[in-house]
Amino acid sequence: MIKRLKRLLEKHKIDGYIVPKNDEYFNEYVSPSKDRLKFISNFSGSAGFALILKNQNYLFVDGRYTIQARIQSGSKFKVITIPQKFPKDVLKKKLKIGFDSNLHNEKQLNFYFGINNISLKSIDKNLIDIIWTEKPKDKIKPFFSISKKNAGQSFEEKIKKVKHFLLKNKMDYLLVTAPENVAWVLNIRGYDSAFSPTPNARLLINNKGDIDLYSHPKKIEKIKKILFKKIRFHNETVLERRLKNLCKKSILLDSISGSIHYKNLLKKRNKVIEKLDPIYFFKSIKNLTEINNMKRSHIFDGAALTKFLFWLKKNFRNRKITEISAQNKLENFRKMNKAYKFPSFSTISGTGPNSAIIHYKASNKSNRVLKRGDLYLVDSGGQYSFGTTDVTRTVSLENRSRFTKEIYTRVLKGHIAVSDYKIKKNSTGSDIDKNARKFLKQINLDYPHGTGHGVGYFLNVHEGPQSFSKNNKVNLKSGMVISNEPGYYKEGQFGIRIENLIYINKDKFEELTLAPIEKELINKNLLSKKEIDWINEYHNKVKKTLFRFMNFKEKIDLRNACSPI
């Protein structure tokens, strides 16, 4: 297939072509028919892009995916880890690079390819689509609405916020291009992403509060009956014509999901303001209903995970438990709850050296048996009809290594430092990220990913604009939900990560996730009294909350798992 693509480079008189992971909706999890990066490179991670030149193929990924990319694509692609290196570090010759303007925003494209020796050329037809003749077919499923009772706010109240923002900033229109933002503002969900209930649709909202929704006609059949008096519905194919007809308007285009294609359509006759869609910020602050519902979802999810952890500990010695059978067992525990819909991302179930692959996905080829002496890392989550979960536990399979215990304890100390952080008026994610890493850095170690990401409400498990990362300067505000997940990964040997979801309650963090933390890996001598108190208080809360969900034997296990250290 790469050879066929390279013949098209000659035809279009370009030296290379960019293949991003995202689809035209900039979804994190794309449908099989839009996963062009996997088709051409075999790389299945959720982030990255390929650059295919006439004589060389590059795959650019971040630190979460370096090992995975080498395994899946290393035979045909040179894997480059961002931010250690960027395209400018490997592209020294004068080159003309082609791209699909539907799949890139201007900020992103200029950041990676705004290089003096590189000229960019938009190609009308996606070159991967030309050679990908046998694409899988996507199922078309209708969107559905969530009630005000579960959303905490009506869509009319949310539209008022958008209207107020547009009037205050003297803008005529907001073009909502991110499906997650369409979902939030209209209180609707869909089935267009594998792990997120997002609806592939666009919205055009003006400063009078008028709303036009553009999507596939079959997808909007159900919600039409509920929203028809307030919203004008259109086939997605007419959006381009509508945008071309706008004239002398001030239009806000999302700098993340607003494509170069849309910008080019609008800028000919209008003033285009490229900045973050304000809905990201509105959505990031959960209302009281959403917080209370997320607490419920985490109680159910914590019960399922805790039952799984007890089953695993009891059975790994005398049963053949593999990475795949373990993750299937965990899924079965979650399925026992009627509110559970599906996973919130692809479960990471890795033991031994596979646990060091940060975003590992077990396959029939890589599937390892859980063995005494190893560590087992499981990072998983669920979509519930009233919340989204994401949790990681690292389990000792009778691992006796002093070094492993020291590393685990330092990761745990970083985890506690985040949870205990006192939030000030101007606190940002970068402040907290430093705190999480300091105990590993004392022995010159670190981890190649952020410490935490925002989480949606029955939406994307990865949600901005807030995060705990080195460069995030977004102010932290009450109601935000964020993951707390420091870790450490020794390639070829083991991986450690401890992850809870937390939410901001005024000036402090409160735990959402409820599941025992592995005590066998803790070196108590490395902990302060305050840290020991934190662990004991957390485990006491876990025990009190989950006790009623456990059977007789599990109650004994829960008491032991949550006993004071």
> Is the peptide bond preceding residue 465 cis, with omega within 30 degrees of 0?
yes
Average pLDDT over residues 529-533: 98
pLDDT digits (tens, 9 = 90+) for 197-209: 999 999 999 999 9
Q: How far apart are CA 396 and CA 521, in angstroms?
A: 7
Higher pLDDT, 138 or 490: 490
Please tell me whether residues 343 and 385 are part of one structural domain: yes
Same domain? For 100 and 198 the reply is no
What pLDDT sits at residue 226?
86
Q: What percent of the chain has pLDDT over 90?
A: 92
Please give the residue range of the domain that contains residue 67: 2-131
Write the CATH number for 63: 3.40.350.10
Q: What percent of the chain has pLDDT over 70?
A: 100
Assess if residue 9 is contained within a domain: yes
Per-residue pLDDT, averaged over 222-242, amounts to 91
Has residue 339 been placed in a domain?
A: yes
pLDDT at 194 (0 to 100): 87
Q: Tell me what pLDDT residue 378 has.
A: 98
- Statement to judge: residues 80 and 225 lie in one domain: no
Which CATH number does the domain housing residue 483 bear? 3.90.230.10
Using the predicted structure, report yes or no on whether residue 46 has a pLDDT greater than 90: no
Tell me if 565 is assigned to some domain. no
Residues 198 and 94 reside in one and the same domain: no
**Measured distance CA(346)–CA(365) in Å, rounded:** 17
Last residue of a domain, one of 241, 267, 283: 283
**Do residue 433 and residue 312 come from a single domain?**
yes
Please write the tens of the pLDDT for every residue from 74-100. Answer: 999 999 999 889 998 889 889 999 999
Whether 70 has a pLDDT exceeding 80, the answer reads yes
CB 497 within 8 A of CB 390: no
The pLDDT confidence band at residue 537, using thresholds 50, 70 and 90, is very high
CA dihedral 495, 498, 504, 509 (to 10 degrees): -130
Domain boundary among 73, 99, 131: 131
Q: What is the pLDDT of residues 137-174, one digit of tens each?
A: 988 999 999 999 999 999 999 999 999 999 999 999 99
Q: What confidence tens digit (pLDDT) does each residue in 285-295 have? A: 999 999 999 99
pLDDT for the residue numbered 227: 86
Determine, yes or no, domain membership for 233: yes
Write down which residue in 283, 307, 322 finishes a domain.
Answer: 283
Mean pLDDT of the chain: 96
Please tell me the least confidently modeled range out of 74-88, 387-401, 521-535.
74-88
Express each pLDDT in 421-452 by its tens digit.
999 999 999 999 999 999 999 999 999 999 99
Q: Average pLDDT in the 512-523 region?
A: 98
**Whole-prediction pTM:** 0.93
Say yes or no: 32 and 107 in one domain.
yes
Tell me the pairing of strands 16-20 and 95-99: parallel
Cα 468 to Cα 223, 327, 379, distances in angstroms = 36, 27, 18
Structure tokens that stand for 397 in this block? 């399979």
Shared domain for 201 and 300, answered yes or no, is: no
Q: Contact, 31 vs 112, CB < 8 A?
A: no
Q: For 404-423, what is the mean pLDDT?
A: 98
In a domain, 137, yes or no: no
Across the beta sheet with 508-511, what order do the strands follow? 463-468, 452-454, 481-484, 500-505, 508-511
Are residue 66 and residue 124 in the same domain, yes or no?
yes
Shared domain check, 276 and 292: no
Q: Judge whether residue 229 has pLDDT over 90.
A: no
Q: What is the pLDDT of residues 162-171, one digit of tens each?
A: 999 999 999 9
Cα-to-chain-centroid distance, residue 474 = 18
The reported pLDDT for the residue numbered 554 is 98
pLDDT at 96: 96
pLDDT digits (tens, 9 = 90+) for 336-386: 999 999 999 999 999 999 999 998 999 999 999 999 999 999 999 999 999
From residue 259, alpha-carbon distances to 29, 179, 206, 249, 396 in Å are 17, 13, 20, 18, 46
Is pLDDT at 228 greater than 80 in this prediction? no
Report residue 501's pLDDT band, with 50, 70 and 90 as the boundaries: very high
User: What pLDDT sits at residue 33?
Assistant: 93
Q: For 377-528, where are the alpha helices, taking DSSP H only?
A: 402-419, 429-441
360 occurs within a structural domain: yes
Euclidean distance between CA atoms 446 and 436, whole angstroms = 10
Domain count within the chain? 3
Six token digits for residue 233: 């519905």
In the predicted model, what is the mean pLDDT of residues 513-519? 98
Q: Are residues 272 and 159 in the same domain?
A: yes
Q: What are the backbone dihedrals phi and psi of residue 348, each rounded to the nearest 5 degrees, phi first? A: -100, 110
The pLDDT score that the predictor gives to residue 63 is 86
Spatial contact of 330 and 369, defined as CB atoms under 8 Å apart:
no
In a domain, 563, yes or no: no
pLDDT per position as a tens digit, 306-319: 999 999 999 999 99
Together in a domain, 447 and 517 = yes
Q: In this structure, are 371 and 417 located in the same domain?
A: yes
pLDDT (tens digit, 9 = 90+) per residue, 255-301? 999 999 999 999 999 999 999 999 999 999 999 999 999 999 999 99
